Structure 1
Amino acid sequence: MKYLVMIQGTQADYEAMSGKGGKDSPAWGEKDLQAMYAFMGALNNDLAESGEMVDGQGLGEPAQARTVGLGADGRPVVTDGPYGETKELLAGYWVLDCPSLERVTEIAERILQCPQPEGAPVYPVVIRQIMDGGGDVC
């Protein structure tokens, strides 16, 4: 079965990773970034070697995102960012092909072990099964 495994973050987290910390996200140093990249690289390599990795990507900061919706008049409305009622948003993902929900849960637990600076926020890892209905989404 295929699963979408998602990690969350905020604009403040992206800024902290570039060295501009704030009250909710301490600044990351070069060693913090290197540790995180090494951890994620090892995880991705392990998932590729096991044949479970289909795809995985980190996403750009929310400040560079746009949302396109429909206005009351049915015309497109473009707004900055993916912001809704929450500041947390999708920061990265993996598409994994795992034999069971238990196995993908083990991987999510490993993701939570990613090193980060003391005091940095810890977000849950979200797992969603990808439905294989064979039909179009729209």
Structure 2
Amino acid sequence: MKYLVMVQGTQADYEGMRGKASEHAATWTEEELQAMYAYMGAINDDLAESGEIIDAQGLAEPARTRLVSRTPDGGTEITDGPYSETKELMAGYWVLECESLERVTEIAERVSRCPGPKGQTGHPVVIRPIMDGAGDIC
């Protein structure tokens, strides 16, 4: 089965990675950033070796996001970021093909232990099965 594994983050998290601390996120040192990249790289290497990884990407900060939606009158509303500091959005993802929900949960748990600055509480990791067809809805 294919799964989308999403790491959530906030605009404040991206600011903290650039050295701007706030009440919502700690400041990252260069060593902490390198440790995070190495940790995630090791996960990607392991998933490539096991053949479970289909795709994985980090995403740009929420401030660079654009939301396109329909209005009640049938028009289109276009909103640019940034979003509220407390609003969590997808910060990165993996598309994986795993034997079971238990296996993808093991991977998500490993992702959730990614190192960061002292005092960081970690970020939620969401698992969503990818539907193969309309039969998956029922």
Gaps of 5+ in 2: none
Determine the C-alpha separation between the residues in 1 that align with 2:121 and 2:96: 25
Once residues 82 and 103 of structure 2 are traced to their aligned partners in structure 1, the CA distance between those partners, rounded to angstroms, is 31
CA distance in 1, matches of 2:124, 2:40: 16
Q: Could you say if the C-alpha distance between residues 82 and 100 of structure 1 is closer, same or farther in structure 2, counting changes exceeding 3 Å?
A: farther
Paired position in structure 2 for 1:111:
111
Judging changes above 3 Å, is the alpha-carbon distance between structure 1 residues 134 and 73 closer, same or farther for their aligned structure 2 residues? closer
Verify the 8 A CA contact 2:11 2:83 in the aligned structure 1. Answer: no
Residue 118 of structure 1 and its aligned partner are, at CA, apart by 1.1
Separation in structure 2 between the aligned mates of residue 105 and residue 48 of structure 1, nearest angstrom: 17
Aligned-pair RMSD on alpha carbons? 1.7
Instruction: Report the residue type matching 1:94 in the other structure.
Output: W
In the alignment, which residue of structure 2 is the partner of 1:72?
72
Measure the CA separation in 1 of the matches of 2:94 and 2:82. 19
Task: Give 5+ residue unaligned stretches, structure 1.
Answer: none
1:70-102 residue CA offsets vs partner (Å, 9 max, x unmatched): 123211110123859x60111111000000001
- Runs of 4 or more above 3 Å deviation: none
State the TM-score, normalizing by the size of structure 1: 0.91
Matches within 5 A, 1:12-91: 12-81=12-81, 83=83, 87-91=87-91
Q: How many residues align?
A: 134
